[in-house]
Amino acid sequence: MEHDFHGKVVLVTGAGSGIGREAALRFARAGALVYAADLSAKGLEETDALVHGAGGEMRTAVVNVAQEDDVATLLAHIDREQGRLDAAFNNAGITGGTHRIEDYPVEDFDRVVGVNLRSVFLGMKYEIPLLLRQGGTIVNTASVAAITGPAGMSAYAASKHGVQGLTRVAAMENAARGVRVNAIAPGWTETPMVVANSAQNPAFAALASRAIPAKRGAQPGEIADAALWLSSPASSYVHGQLLVIDGGMTIGG
Ligand code: NAD
């Protein structure tokens, strides 16, 4: 579907790779001025080159989304430069290690929850005041781990379940104030990290693709497209939902 984001200011976090990079590119192609935030300056440079190559407009910011000062400074900067924010895609995230709960290092648990969940709280805390001025949207990236319990991934699953909870609360608090809030739940998505893991562990990759009714992983652009739809007027009556995009993986018995 063709979206029109001309005149819109859009923030994408985790824009230095994978799903966030594809979303930044798609928002920019649809006419948005994109603020791309990531911890990785190199990743942002690559995204910037892609966006400018496609004739899009983008500003980059090296930001740790788990740090309140970083997030507050970024939104204050957008406010100073543009005086508005129309859409936010809170997407940065990490997987963390795979350990049973009794072996899961507490500091790793805190780190994963910080990057995946605290970041979404902080993002929305500082985005909502800007979005309220003219109305807008928030899309948060959860995961199929928001509705399942993948063994060994306690921190990741807890953080992504939490993203769904925060999304619902923010949707209820803002539904009558012109700000729509939704989440996406990608399944197995072939971002660079997943492709590299699959190359190292072909048996796991084969198992994963057998478990997916569509018999393939998603391309990052197929996930980004869902974020664009939820950020666009085409989804104007959708509030507080978790849109699962997983090739049918969580539907089968
Ligand atoms: P990715 O690793 O390709 O991209 C994630 C980006 O987030 C990276 O550029 C990284 O530098 C950035 N980032 C990490 N920590 C950060 C921090 N503290 N502050 C700012 N930026 C930070 O991964 P991806 O697959 O594109 O993942 C994007 C989102 O999708 C994540 O929230 C992830 O949990 C979710 N997700 C991915 C999959 C999948 O199969 N790839 C499945 C479900 C959910």
Q: Note the pLDDT of residue 179.
A: 98
Q: Ligand 1 atom closest to Cα of 160? A: 34
Cα 22 to Cα 221: distance, rounded to the nearest angstrom: 5
Q: Is 22 in the pocket of ligand 1 (CB under 6 A)?
A: no
Instruction: Report pLDDT digits (tens) over 7-33.
Output: 999 999 999 999 999 999 999 999 999
Q: Ligand 1 atom closest to Cα of 66? A: 18
Q: Which of 35, 104, 126, 156 is catalytic?
A: 156
Q: Is the pTM of this model over 0.80?
A: yes
Ligand 1 midpoint to CA 32 (Å) = 22
CA distances from 234 to 1, 39, 165, 185 (A): 10, 31, 24, 19
Q: Note the pLDDT of residue 211.
A: 87
Q: Is 66 in the pocket of ligand 1 (CB under 6 A)?
A: yes
* Catalytic annotation present for 156: yes
Architecture of the domain spanning 9-189+219-245: 3-Layer(aba) Sandwich (3.40)
CA distances from 140 to 151, 161, 181, 221 (A): 23, 12, 8, 16
Average of per-residue pLDDT values in the chain: 96
Task: Please check whether residue 130 is in contact with residue 75, taking contact to mean a CB–CB distance below 8 angstroms.
Answer: yes
- CA 5 to chain CA mean position, Å: 18
Atom 6, ligand 1: residue with shortest CA distance? 14
Atom 3, ligand 1: residue with shortest CA distance? 18
Ligand 1 midpoint to CA 63 (Å) = 14
Say yes or no: ipTM exceeds 0.95.
yes
Q: Note the pLDDT of residue 253.
A: 62
Q: Is 14 in the pocket of ligand 1 (CB under 6 A)?
A: yes
For 14, counting Cβ atoms within 10 Å of its Cβ (0-12 exposed, 13-18 middle, 19+ buried), the class is: buried
Regions of the chain with pLDDT less than 70: 1, 253
Cα 196 to Cα 215: distance, rounded to the nearest angstrom: 19
Alpha helices in 2-40 (DSSP H): 18-29
Please report which helix (H) or strand (E) contains residue 34, including its range. strand 33-38
Task: Please check whether residue 48 is in contact with residue 36, taking contact to mean a CB–CB distance below 8 angstroms.
Answer: yes
Mutate to test the pocket of ligand 1, among 22, 39, 112 (most ligand atoms within 8 A of CB): 39
Q: Note the pLDDT of residue 193.
A: 74
- CA 34 to chain CA mean position, Å: 14
Q: Note the pLDDT of residue 90.
A: 99
Q: Is 135 in the pocket of ligand 1 (CB under 6 A)?
A: no
Atom 17, ligand 1: residue with shortest CA distance? 64
Query: Domain limits of the chain?
Result: 9-189+219-245
